[in-house]
């Protein structure tokens, strides 16, 4: 039974991958994270060889049909013979799936807060999120007494060039901790968020947590006392 106050049904992990992705689209559109035909979502369909099932480009995410997906190879090229095409950003999904072998799903959204905050913090190269209880919603974080540095990359239309910069940042980061990754997603400046999970349920949760935290950080900057506190704690 759908919740009476929600315009979209609750996420149901028992559905098949396509229906889970369609459900994510309805939800993210309703929550303002995937408006117009923006965003793209994928699941890893095969690991050897690496293949992804990803949304076809230019589709309204509130009304994805079962045919609005295409299977692509590790380079982002369609490989299912349907003639369907995904967006140029498919390459970034493939890159994430290649760089993190445990990834089963990748989600990309265009929310207001991720757009604003990524533009503001591009000069720093990261958005710092510190001291929030909701950080514990990110994989491997067990206390609010920590911080997350979400990398921010300058936006680009040349996906090969952008993928090269993202790959370099991933390679330079410390992934040696068994349960705590160095970051759980990244931002493209004035564009949006990429995050991932072992499955679609986890990736969906990480979008929700990031979006909540981005709004907290951005709104906190409009409170001078909170901003002073954050600057103080960042210096300690």
Q: Give contact residues for Zn ion (rule: CB under 5 A).
A: 192
Q: State the nearest-atom distance from the C-beta of 89 to Zn ion, in Å.
A: 5
Q: Which residue is nearest to Zn ion (CB)?
A: 192
Minimal distance, residue 217 CB to Zn ion, in Å: 21
Nearest to 42 by CA among 70, 11, 13, 66: 70
Between 40 and 141, CB nearer to Zn ion? 40
Helix (H) or strand (E) holding 25: helix 17-30
Nearer to Zn ion, 104 or 192 (CB): 192
Strand 69-72 and strand 50-55: the pairing is: antiparallel
Which CB sits closer to Zn ion, 76 or 192? 192
- For Zn ion, give the closer residue by CB, 27 or 141: 27
Q: Smallest gap, in angstroms, from Cβ of residue 116 to Zn ion?
A: 15
The rounded distance, in Å, linking the Cα atoms of 136 and 209 is 9
Which CB atom, from 192 or from 197, has the smaller least distance to Zn ion?
192
Among residues 141 and 187, whose Cβ is nearest to Zn ion? 187
Which residues on neighbouring strands pair with residue 93, listed in sequence order? none
Q: How far is the CB of 92 from Zn ion (least distance, A)?
A: 9
Least distance (Å) from Zn ion to the CB of residue 72? 16
Nearest Cα neighbor of 44 from 208, 198, 194, 167 is 198
Q: Residues 6 or more apart from 125 whose CB is under 8 A from it? A: 151, 152
Cis peptide before 49 (omega within 30 of 0): yes
- Contact assessment for residue 40 and residue 16, using Cβ atoms and an 8 Å cutoff: no
| Helix or strand (DSSP H, E) at 22 | helix 17-30
Q: How far is the CB of 17 from Zn ion (least distance, A)?
A: 21
Could you list the beta-strand ranges (E) of 96-211. Answer: 105-109, 126-130, 147-153, 185-188, 192-197
């Amino acid at each position: 039974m759908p919740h009476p106050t929600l315009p979209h049904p609750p996420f149901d992990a028992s559905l098949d991958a396509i229906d889970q992705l369609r459900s994510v689209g309805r939800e993210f559109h309703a929550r303002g994270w995937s408006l117009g035909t923006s965003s793209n979502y994928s699941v890893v369909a095969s690991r050897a060889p690496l293949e992804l099932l990803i949304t076809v480009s230019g589709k309204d995410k509130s009304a994805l049909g079962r045919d609005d997906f295409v299977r692509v190879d590790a380079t982002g090229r369609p490989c299912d013979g349907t003639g369907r095409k995904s967006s140029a950003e498919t390459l970034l999904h493939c890159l994430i799936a290649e760089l993190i072998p445990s990834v089963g799903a990748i989600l990309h959204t265009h929310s207001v807060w991720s757009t604003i905050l990524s533009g503001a913090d591009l000069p720093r190269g990261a958005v710092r999120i510190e001291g929030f209880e909701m950080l514990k919603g990110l994989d491997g974080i067990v206390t609010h007494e920590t911080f997350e540095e979400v990398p921010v990359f300058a936006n680009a239309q040349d996906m090969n060039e952008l993928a090269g910069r993202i790959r370099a940042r991933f390679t330079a980061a410390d992934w040696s901790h068994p349960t705590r990754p160095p970051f759980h997603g990244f931002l493209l400046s004035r564009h949006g968020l990429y995050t991932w999970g072992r499955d679609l349920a986890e990736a969906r949760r990480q979008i929700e947590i990031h979006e909540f935290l981005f709004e907290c950080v951005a709104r906190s900057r409009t409170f001078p006392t909170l901003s002073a506190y954050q600057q103080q704690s960042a210096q300690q």
